[in-house]
Amino acid sequence: MTPILKSGTVYGVGLGPGAQDLMSVRADRLIRGARHVAYFRKAGKPGQARRIVEGMLRDDLTEFPMDYPVTTEIPLADPRYAASLAGFYENVAAHLRALAESGEDVVVLAEGDPFFYGSFMHLFTRLEPHVPVRVVPGITGMAAAWTATGAPITWGDDVLTVAPATLPEAELSARIADTDALVVMKIGQNLPKLKRAIEAAGRMGEAWLVEYAAMAEERVIKLAEVDTAPYFSIAMIHGQGRRP
């Protein structure tokens, strides 16, 4: 009688904001023990996730870099953009599923937290119906960013809004005006639009930009003073709510 092969598990492991000592103990254990590690990156680049775990991986490791398709020439609203990414996620998920179905555990490295604006969730939805998937949460980049400012992000009954800078400008401005505390992700080329939206909401004097939070290049600066925002940038406005 042929024995039934036990499926392996795909682990989505949150790496936190970028420093090894800000990972959880569970994440550290899984990464150091992994025989198969997968991570997202831009083609031709080592990838931030892989850089974070440098020196932690075992010698007999098998790596699976997942190179994003080049989509910069396709507008975000163009159906071809979603189709290109969907095909990419289907292909890499199929590879990870095959590994798990052969009995191998796989660690997928995820910057920040796997379930917060991350690529891993697109794998999760494709893998979870077929093989065991476990998620290890991580400290979010925004938590590292507001910590870098040296001030609490919320007080008392403050409402915190987390918004992507990819929103239409009018909607972005309305949400900024209607919240106590604010975090804005996905800035990049959307910086001019974000600055206009914050200005229209009358809150530019309160706004900060944190670059490379918890990394060696960390910088905190007033948003009004910047003209460019690197990929690892987060904008924020601190709440000023009820205090004892």
CA end-to-end span of the chain: 70
Q: Tokens for 239?
A: 């709440």
Q: How far apart are CA 18 and CA 38, in angstroms?
A: 17
pLDDT at 6: 86
pLDDT at 57: 97
Question: Domain limits of the chain?
Answer: 10-136, 141-237
pLDDT at 71: 61
Q: Tokens for 108?
A: 């997928």
Mean pLDDT by 10 residues, the chain (244 residues): 76 96 98 98 92 96 93 69 90 98 98 95 97 98 97 97 96 97 96 97 98 95 96 95 92
pLDDT at 196: 98
What residues are paired with 210 via a beta bridge? 220, 234
Q: How far apart are CA 212 and CA 232, in angstroms?
A: 5
The DSSP element (H or E) to which 145 belongs, if any, is helix 141-148
Which residues have C-beta within 8 Å of that of residue 193, sequence separation ≥ 6? 165, 169, 172
pLDDT at 4: 61
Which residues have C-beta within 8 Å of that of residue 230, sequence separation ≥ 6? 211, 212
CATH number of 10-136: 3.40.1010.10
pLDDT at 63: 97
Q: How far is CA 183 from CA 44, 93, 159, 180, 243, in A?
A: 31, 31, 11, 10, 21
CATH number of 141-237: 3.30.950.10
Q: Tokens for 147?
A: 């910590």
Angle at 162 between CA 242 and CA 83, to 5 degrees: 170
pLDDT at 81: 79
The gap from C-alpha 195 to its chain's centroid, in whole angstroms, comes to 22
